[in-house]
Structure 1
């Protein structure tokens, strides 16, 4: 007897991968918030306050770690956080830094755009979606390496596009 099921497709090679981990200052804020819980429990007991601080920090750390999105580009797919799409549906890709990134996250933002933004990461990449079945006009994603992500997806940085015009 032989197995007639098709062979699994070979894994696509990863061209780019990034985890949007919290910055050091976010962890500092987590420590400060958990330290404040000591003040709440000191009237009961110093030991209780210290235990509460450790528990609050552990909860914050778990939430920050579990909610850390990834950007993964393979030869066939693009995954940004919880959204994924085949590369054939990726259109124009543009990276932004500084004021241009702020403008993309604010006044230029389309109401139907998919966003994977992290406040502790300034640069963003805008990825046009060319799938006619999808109402989402584009994805806007935070990235620490917009030049690398844009290069892998065949796009340009906003200043580069302005210089060519």
Structure 2
């Protein structure tokens, strides 16, 4: 008689993430995508009236889909920090600095930016968090992440 296989954990069994945010576009980006569709429709109007409406709608929907599909997820779960496609163990994280104002984030992205830093930025999320890395094997000094909820992300990253 064979021994039963151990049960594989299902997604329902895994604990909820301590923090999860999709950096979805804001209202200005949605309006920009719709505006792009209008521009295409107006540009094609002299060539074919019916086609201009169809192509304008296709371009607007395509731009909206592209904005949503490329929106990264910032997540703290399973002992890791994930930002887009990158991930790092929470054990390798050092000091966490929330940037609650756009000015703080602008300074961190401008004159204070280290070229070796990992940056997960979306212009429509104007606040963020800087997370130092304590990994001697990684040349990346810190991660700079956009988030609309910097205090919550910082709290989820602190032990």
* Secondary structure class of the residue paired with 2:18: strand
Correspondence for 1:105 among 89, 109, 113: 109
Query: Are 1:132 and 2:136 an aligned pair?
Result: yes
> Displacement, 1:82?
1.0
Deviates more, 1:38-47 or 1:114-123: 38-47
Runs of 4+ aligned structure 1 residues displaced above 4 Å come to 6-10
What are the Cα deviations for residues 81-103 of structure 1, in whole angstroms up to 9, with x where unaligned?
11111110011010112311110
CA contact (8 A) 1:14 1:74 kept: yes
What are the Cα deviations for residues 87-122 of structure 1, in whole angstroms up to 9, with x where unaligned?
100110101123111100111111011110001111
Q: TM-score, normalised by structure 2?
A: 0.89
CA contact (8 A) 2:35 2:60 kept: no
Alignment correspondent of 1:23? 26
Alignment correspondent of 2:153? 149
Q: Distance in 1 between matches of 2:89 and 2:7?
A: 21
Alignment correspondent of 1:163? none
Alignment correspondent of 2:126? 122
How many equivalent pairs are there? 154
> Displacement, 1:75?
5.2
5+ long unaligned stretches in structure 1: 156-165
5+ long unaligned stretches in structure 2: none
* Secondary structure class of the residue paired with 1:14: coil
Q: Distance in 2 between matches of 1:39 and 1:14?
A: 46
Please tell me the root mean square deviation across aligned C-alpha atoms, in Å.
Answer: 1.8
CA contact (8 A) 2:22 2:74 kept: yes
Distance 1:11 1:94, change over 3 A: same
CA contact (8 A) 1:77 1:86 kept: yes
Q: TM-score, normalised by structure 1?
A: 0.86
Deviates more, 1:12-21 or 1:45-54: 12-21
CA contact (8 A) 1:12 1:76 kept: no
* Secondary structure class of the residue paired with 1:44: coil
